[in-house]
Amino acid sequence: MACRLYLKMKMRGTSVEEQVQWVLSYVQEGSADVWKENVMEELESGEMEYETVEEFFTNLRKEFGGGEEELVKVAELRRMEQGGKMMEEFVQEFKRAARGSGYKGRPLVEKFKRGMNRGIRRKLMELENPPTFIEQWYRRATALDRNWRESRQEEERLKKKEVGGGTPKQEQRQSLPRPLVWQRRQIPQ
């Protein structure tokens, strides 16, 4: 993804061959390095030519990404947990991992629910009308997480205000008026 972005931004006017060579300059070590050397030789001899950089990326995926990409994405989804991350961040990471995983519909929702923090999941599932589609889950979980974090910040702010300002609780109790105690008068007989 970073390579594509760089190519679009910085190498717009260059030839496809130069762009491919730039990408290949980052391919190193192991079988990938041997593959790179073969591709470089084929390009230099004219045996291979790419019409577009996308054609090169497709060839690269066939060579190294093949069917394993989906398995990697599925494994990544299984490991994902929100933890201390803000829901916005977790949603973006989840969306990235979900692309190309093969999950859609209900199974994707279940993976998302499994990765989110238990408290948020429980609150969303206990709603009268819980979310059903993945986009609803993203939106409502994000809103709930944001509200929870804002509430927590407000509580901390108020706690600091109570501790820092005002009079201690003991002094406040002493300054409160004492309730009137009614005494029973004995009525003479």
Q: How far apart are the first and last CA of the chain?
A: 101
Q: What is the pLDDT of residues 78-122, one digit of tens each?
A: 889 999 999 999 999 999 989 888 889 999 999 999 999 999 999
Written as six digits, the tokens of 1 are: 């993804």
Q: What is the pLDDT of residues 21-33, one digit of tens each?
A: 888 887 777 777 7
> Are residues 80 and 94 in contact, defined by beta-carbon separation less than 8 angstroms?
yes
What percent of the chain clears pLDDT 70, i.e. is strictly above it?
81
Q: CATH 1.10.3470: does it fit domain 70-158?
A: no
Q: Which residue has the higher pLDDT, 188 or 88?
A: 88
Q: Diameter of the chain by CA atoms?
A: 130
What is the pLDDT confidence band of residue 37, given thresholds at 50, 70 and 90?
Answer: confident
- Residues in Cβ contact with 5 at an 8 Å cutoff, skipping those fewer than 6 apart: none
What is the pLDDT confidence band of residue 46, given thresholds at 50, 70 and 90?
Answer: confident
**DSSP conformational letter for 180:** P
pLDDT on residue 171 = 47
| Alpha carbon separation from 61 to 44, 52, 69 (Å, rounded) | 22, 15, 9
Cα distance between residue 104 and residue 47, in whole Å = 41
One-character DSSP codes across 75-97 = HHHHH---TTS-HHHHHHHHHHH
Average pLDDT over residues 169-177: 50
| Alpha carbon separation from 104 to 16, 20, 59, 90, 107 (Å, rounded) | 35, 34, 27, 18, 6
Written as six digits, the tokens of 189 are: 């007989």
Domain boundaries, the chain: 2-66, 70-158
Q: What is the pLDDT of residues 116-141, one digit of tens each?
A: 999 999 999 999 999 999 999 999 99
Q: Is the pTM of this model over 0.75?
A: no
**Phi and psi, residue 18, nearest 5°:** -65, -40
